[in-house]
Amino acid sequence: MNLNNKTLLLTGGTGSFGWKFVEIVLEHYSPKKLIVFSRDELKQSDMSNKFQGPALRYFIGDVRDKDRLQRAMDGVDYVIHAAALKQVPACEYNPMEAVKTNVFGAQNVIDAAIDQGVKKVVALSTDKAVNPVNLYGATKLCAEKLFIQANAYSGREGTRFSCVRYGNVAGSRGSVIPVFESQREEGVLTITDKRMTRFWITLGQGVNFVISCLSDMQGGEVFIPKIPSMKIVDLASAIAPGCEFNFVGIRSGEKLHEVLISKDESRTVLEVGDKYVICPPHPWFAQPHYPQGRLVEEEFEYRSDNNDQWISASEFDRLNLS
């Protein structure tokens, strides 16, 4: 995807993904404008101390505020929607706040993008949106549905919307990795269940995948990268070798294994190189755009425990967290 001389807007731009996205875009491209849209002026101030340049714009704003989004998207070519409330316990305790940001905020992004003539929008989703068992996952599932169906609202020549869905991001805020690192000093790590597995992707991989999907998208797809799984006990052993484990049991709203593609979604899933593409079952979607794609077998399910790619404790450095 050539982002040179394009105007980009990144919601949730001061989060972990935003920092890495800005770093990669400025390193490899020469955008006309790169708008960092977020609600925290302190984080924007910290970010502006590291990332500066004539292309950068720092916009204070909240995705709950459609008028501010309308102003921010004036003249924008591409939007990456990364803003979300994503801490599972916080979303459970403050459910309407999660709905306001993750669902109503998604609708505001859609409306503003269509009204301002944005060419493409990629929204970030999560494995927790598949068969959700917590409110965070439920709000992200709802947001996915909004973004996919938004293509019908924007018209044949209007804004195109797609989603990217991937697993746990190594090194991001909210990751278990910093928790294990802090507990390492005490010699005891708290682990929910010894059987637990998770998908893992690095920030850099996530950013590059989003950029590639921005290039490939026709509108209506959900893109899923082929990424490795890791057992939580192996992750803990890699971070804190020799430490004891205290198994505390699965918490409310938590799964033993995560799912990136459900069996019910498999009917429209194409395997395309290093990713899967969930195609929308709508007449407006032109599936021949992926002639190299192979339809997966019936009732295919992409779970963190049935994956064919694994990272062991000794291979932890492959995550390359820098």
Whole-number Å distance between alpha carbons of 200 and 145: 24
Q: Look up residue 314 and give its two tokens.
A: 């000794």
Whole-number Å distance between alpha carbons of 7 and 25: 12
Strand partners, 9: 35, 79
Whole-number Å distance between alpha carbons of 271 and 295: 6
Catalytic residue among 6, 20, 86, 128: 128
Q: Look up residue 302 and give its two tokens.
A: 């992409």
Q: Look up residue 117 and give its two tokens.
A: 């003539």
For residue 22, report the phi and psi dihedrals to the nearest 5 degrees.
-60, -45
**What residues have CB less than 8 Å from 322, skipping those under 6 apart?**
none
Query: What is the residue whose two structure tokens read 């979604």?
Result: 265
- Report the C-alpha dihedral over residues 100, 102, 108, 112, rounded to 10 degrees: 150
- Residue by residue, DSSP assigns 14-28 as TSHHHHHHHHHHHHH
**Residue 32: active-site member:** no
Whole-number Å distance between alpha carbons of 86 and 125: 10
Whole-number Å distance between alpha carbons of 301 and 25: 33
Q: What angle do CA 265, 120, 294 make, to 5 degrees?
A: 35
Instruction: Just list the catalytic residues.
Output: 128
